[in-house]
Amino acid sequence: MSIIQKVTGGFVALALVACAQNAAAQNQSFTVEVASSVTLTAPEDSTIPHDTTDANQSFGVSNWGVTCNNGAGATVDFRTTAVFVNGSTERDLEMTVSVVSTDTDAGGTPVWSVTPALTTYSSDYASGDRAGHVQATSGGPGNATLGLAMVFVDNDYSLLPAGDYTVQVTGTITSN
Amino acid sequence: MDGQCKISQGSQVNRVSVRPAALCLCVFWLWTAPEAVGQRVDLEPRERALQIDYAFEDQAQAFPPAVWDFRNAGFARGVVVSWELEAFTHTRFPQHQADADVQVRLIRAGSNGRWRITQEYDATNLAAGRESAVVSVASDGRGRGAAELLVRFVIRNPRQVAAGTYHATVTGTISGQ
């Protein structure tokens, strides 16, 4: 190799070194931890007087408060394990869940909705059907107020023994 | 032997043809030499990772200042230091993202180099498809400097921030002018 070629090669090598040092880069990470908040708040107990007619007796809609920030949403289940009971006397119930209010996602779609196949449950104690449930679910983070409408089912007041008829509903929220 | 001598002569002719290239490289070298000799630039965050817990009350929650040190030991005409910040992304549910904003403040400008802020504030805007934000400082000579980045976690609705871990990365780059 000639001197000129060696010198030329040296220049090229130095030029490449110079180019390789023209910039530098580094990274730094930022992390946010968001705590989980998945809650269901029951309303006050509800009592109504019978209006002495043969019609079913409605308790109206009770509002249940829901908070949920799980990324995949949550499911709220309202369950009864017995019908209305007054001592040894039973009467059927009908309960229906609805979405009273709900947050919307970034696209404006309501976060919470009622599970179509589990909107209403009607007991039939005469056939042994005393337990059932209704359900609402969400697909992402968002709060809601769910309404639970309870109905005391009876069509003959003259045959209804006096006393208090009571049923308990248990609501459960589970992250999806 | 004569033929080989001719070939050797031919190679000498080739040497002559190399000279213009060598001269060009010499010119290039002389032109870049003031920058290239002893050229060094670097930057470094004082902390590799910062973490906060989301407090739910605020719509924008700030991290502690993130300090970066940088040095230009080579470029006589100065350097540019820029930081690119991504939007926050949920580590388990990547469809859940949060905007970020960043402000840069010079905390050490040095006596040399005359550091100055060239882009003080920027923010992502996921709703508009803007997923990164850039701030920058620059110098017009050699010298050391330090800046702090004020990064915030910005959300649309505090009630709808998915639980879990959100992550964003800042990439700092220093380059000669």
Q: What is the pLDDT of residue A13?
A: 43
In which order are the strands placed within the sheet that holds A132-138?
Answer: A112-114, A132-138, A74-80, A170-175
Instruction: Tell me which residues of chain B, numbers 79 to 108, contact chain A at a CB-CB cutoff of 8 Å.
Output: 85, 88, 90, 92-93, 96, 98, 100
- Domains of chain A, residue spans: 38-175
The rounded distance, in Å, linking the Cα atoms of A63 and A76 is 13
Mutation for B interface: A5, A19, A26, most B CBs within 10 A: A26
Banded model confidence at residue B74, pLDDT cuts 50, 70, 90: confident
Assess whether B12 and B67 both reside in one domain.
Answer: no
Residue B65 clears pLDDT 90, i.e. is over it? yes
Residue B39 clears pLDDT 70, i.e. is over it? no
Banded model confidence at residue B112, pLDDT cuts 50, 70, 90: low
Using the Cβ of B118 and the Cβ atoms of chain A, whether some distance falls under 8 Å is answered with no
Mutation for A interface: B28, B96, B152, most A CBs within 10 A: B96
Banded model confidence at residue B113, pLDDT cuts 50, 70, 90: low
Token digits of residue A16? 């490449």
pTM of the model: 0.73
Instruction: Tell me which residues of chain B, numbers 130 to 159, contact chain A at a CB-CB cutoff of 8 Å.
Output: 149, 151, 153, 156-157, 159
Assess whether B33 and B46 both reside in one domain.
Answer: no
Q: What is the pLDDT of residue B108?
A: 83
CATH architecture of the domain A38-175 equals Sandwich (2.60)
Write out residues in chain A with pLDDT < 70, as ranges. Answer: 1-21
Q: What is the pLDDT of residue A137?
A: 98
Query: Where is pLDDT greater, at A111 or B6?
Result: A111
Assess whether B12 and B73 both reside in one domain.
Answer: no
Residue B36 clears pLDDT 80, i.e. is over it? no
Assess whether B55 and B115 both reside in one domain.
Answer: yes
Assess whether B134 and B66 both reside in one domain.
Answer: yes
CB A78 within 8 A of CB A171: yes
Query: Where is pLDDT greater, at B40 or A51?
Result: A51
Assess whether B29 and B65 both reside in one domain.
Answer: no
The mean pLDDT value of chain B amounts to: 80
Structural domain harbouring B121: 41-176
How many structural domains comprise chain B?
2
Q: Do the chains contact at A11 and B26, CB–CB below 8 Å?
A: yes
